[in-house]
Amino acid sequence: MTQIKNIGILCSGGDSPGMNCAIRAVVRTAINNGLQPYGIVRGYQGLLEGNFIPMNASSVGNILQHGGTILQTSRCKEFHEPDIRKEAAHILRRKKIDALVVIGGDGSFNGAWALHEEHKVIVAGIPGTIDNDISGTDYTIGFDTAVQTAVDAVDKIRDTAHSHARTFIVEVMGRRSPAIALHVGVCTGAENVIYPKDEIDFDSIASDIKRGMSRGKNSSIIICAEGNKPGLAYEAQKGLKEKFGIDAHVCILGHIQRGGNPSAIDRFIASKMGYRAVSEILAGKQAFVTAYIKGEVTSVPLQECLKKKDEYLPQNMELVKTLSI
Ligand code: F6P
């Protein structure tokens, strides 16, 4: 078994609130166990550029309450190429990194898995994305904070929607994952949630809006998951106008959902995952993810976390519709 002395840590893909807590936990657990942690700046891109910083306990002081990531992150398309990964493995060897901790989403984990499969690099994944859409884990760091940020925004929109008797379509992040949209829909009393899996069901949205109006409601909120790229809410706005003559305002929340101080839940889970990642590396695990399953942080083989999970929970949609009559 490789004797672990140095571990590298990087963030990859979209940042998420709580990543700093995970970095802090990895660094301090490593130091507590006599290891030397190295921060790799700007994800796989920084790895390829050899951008490694030795870290100590003070490097991660006063960061756990801040959003973003002190290590910065990137989306590195080059990493899909085998030759580039070969170069990355070579750099890790040259820098004497014995294990690599990757905080990110399914794309980042696929990169980590390839590094392990092709070059036997010891890799630990920590799920960090606001989308909560990775297979093999019930939770990804940042989701709770992002949902709360969106809920706060929708509460404010509800105030003005009510004052002006308007319908709003509020677009939230999450690409094709409906997780953020459904949670926000339940928590804000939205009339309907659009998630980009099927065609937009204009009949159902219009009938939900009209049903509310007929019992005296003067405002409606429709939550829309963004889809492949931001802007699905404009399609919904156009359809409602053309098909039913309903005027709706659009508000796209965008990247504010990725920032902000992490919630206590995100801090707690990220801290536990960071600790667990180092403990499992020391216990000899080679390729795993720290997963949150049934309320506990545990670890699962990395192969189980390479896909997007289909988070659509029909019961949540049912809840939105039942409670917003
Ligand atoms: O990190 C996840 C996510 O925020 C998605 O919800 C969103 O679709 C995407 O990233 C946006 O990515 P970028 O910031 O690169 O535009």
Q: Which tokens in the block code for residue 11?
A: 């963030």
Centre of ligand 1 to C-alpha 201, Å, is 25
Centre of ligand 1 to C-alpha 173, Å, is 7
Centre of ligand 1 to C-alpha 252, Å, is 13
* Residue 74: CATH number of its domain: 3.40.50.450
- 129 and 274 co-located in one domain: yes
At 314 the pLDDT is: 75
* Residue having the nearest C-alpha atom to atom 12 of ligand 1: 14
Q: Determine whether the shortest distance from the Cβ of 14 to ligand 1 is under 6 A.
A: yes
* Chain length of the chain: 325
At 77 the pLDDT is: 94
- 27 and 85 co-located in one domain: yes
Centre of ligand 1 to C-alpha 267, Å, is 21
Please give the single-letter amino acid code of residue 122: I
Spatial distance between the Cα atoms of 91 and 78, rounded to a whole number of angstroms:
15
Q: How many CB atoms lie within 10 A of CB 210?
A: 14
Please say which residue of 198, 233, 259 terminates a domain.
259
Please report the atom of ligand 1 found closest to the CA of residue 257: 4
Please report the atom of ligand 1 found closest to the CA of residue 15: 1
- Which of 260, 59, 254 has its CA nearest to residue 142? 260
- 172 and 291 co-located in one domain: no
Tokens 């870290």 label which residue? 55
Please report the atom of ligand 1 found closest to the CA of residue 229: 8
Q: Determine whether the shortest distance from the Cβ of 130 to ligand 1 is under 6 A.
A: yes
- 30 and 126 co-located in one domain: yes
* Residue having the nearest C-alpha atom to atom 15 of ligand 1: 14
- 103 and 243 co-located in one domain: no
Asked if residue 133 lies in contact with residue 308, where contact means CB atoms within 8 angstroms, the answer is yes
Pocket mutation for ligand 1, best pick of 258, 308, 311 (most atoms within 8 Å of C-beta): 258
Centre of ligand 1 to C-alpha 200, Å, is 22
* Residue 160: CATH number of its domain: 3.40.50.460
Q: Determine whether the shortest distance from the Cβ of 258 to ligand 1 is under 6 A.
A: yes
- 224 and 103 co-located in one domain: no
164 belongs to a structural domain = yes
* Residue having the nearest C-alpha atom to atom 11 of ligand 1: 14
- 17 and 137 co-located in one domain: yes
Q: Note down pLDDT in tens along the chain; length 325 residues.
A: 679 999 999 999 999 999 999 999 999 999 999 999 999 999 999 999 999 999 999 999 999 999 999 999 999 999 999 999 999 999 999 999 999 999 999 999 999 999 999 999 999 999 999 999 999 999 999 999 999 999 999 999 999 999 999 999 999 999 878 999 999 999 999 999 998 777 899 999 999 999 999 999 999 999 999 988 889 999 999 999 999 999 999 999 999 999 999 999 999 999 999 999 999 999 999 999 999 999 999 999 999 999 998 766 678 888 998 998 8
- Per DSSP (E only), the strands in the chain are 6-11, 36-40, 52-54, 99-104, 122-127, 167-172, 192-194, 220-225, 248-252, 287-293, 296-301
Asked if residue 131 lies in contact with residue 309, where contact means CB atoms within 8 angstroms, the answer is no
- 14 and 125 co-located in one domain: yes
325 belongs to a structural domain = no
100 belongs to a structural domain = yes
Sign of CA dihedral 187, 193, 194, 198: positive
Please say which residue of 244, 259, 274 terminates a domain.
259
At 54 the pLDDT is: 98
Q: Which residues are catalytic?
A: 131
95 belongs to a structural domain = yes
Centre of ligand 1 to C-alpha 72, Å, is 15
320 belongs to a structural domain = no
Q: Which tokens in the block code for residue 231?
A: 């802007």
Domain count, the chain: 2
At 175 the pLDDT is: 87
- 36 and 185 co-located in one domain: no
Q: Which tokens in the block code for residue 157?
A: 């929109």
Q: Determine whether the shortest distance from the Cβ of 266 to ligand 1 is under 6 A.
A: no
Residues 201-255: pLDDT tens digits? Answer: 999 999 999 999 999 999 999 999 998 888 999 999 999 999 999 999 999 999 9
1 belongs to a structural domain = no
323 belongs to a structural domain = no
- 255 and 269 co-located in one domain: no
- 153 and 128 co-located in one domain: no
* Residue having the nearest C-alpha atom to atom 10 of ligand 1: 14
Spatial distance between the Cα atoms of 134 and 141, rounded to a whole number of angstroms:
11
319 belongs to a structural domain = no
Please report the atom of ligand 1 found closest to the CA of residue 14: 1
Please report the atom of ligand 1 found closest to the CA of residue 174: 6
- 16 and 125 co-located in one domain: yes
At 311 the pLDDT is: 62
Q: Which residues are paired to 296 by β-bridges?
A: 293
Domain, as residue range, for 39: 6-142+262-305
At 227 the pLDDT is: 85
- Which of 72, 70, 79 has its CA nearest to residue 48? 79
Predicted TM-score (pTM) of this structure: 0.97
Q: Which tokens in the block code for residue 113?
A: 């898995």
Q: Determine whether the shortest distance from the Cβ of 173 to ligand 1 is under 6 A.
A: yes
Q: Which residues are paired to 6 by β-bridges?
A: 36
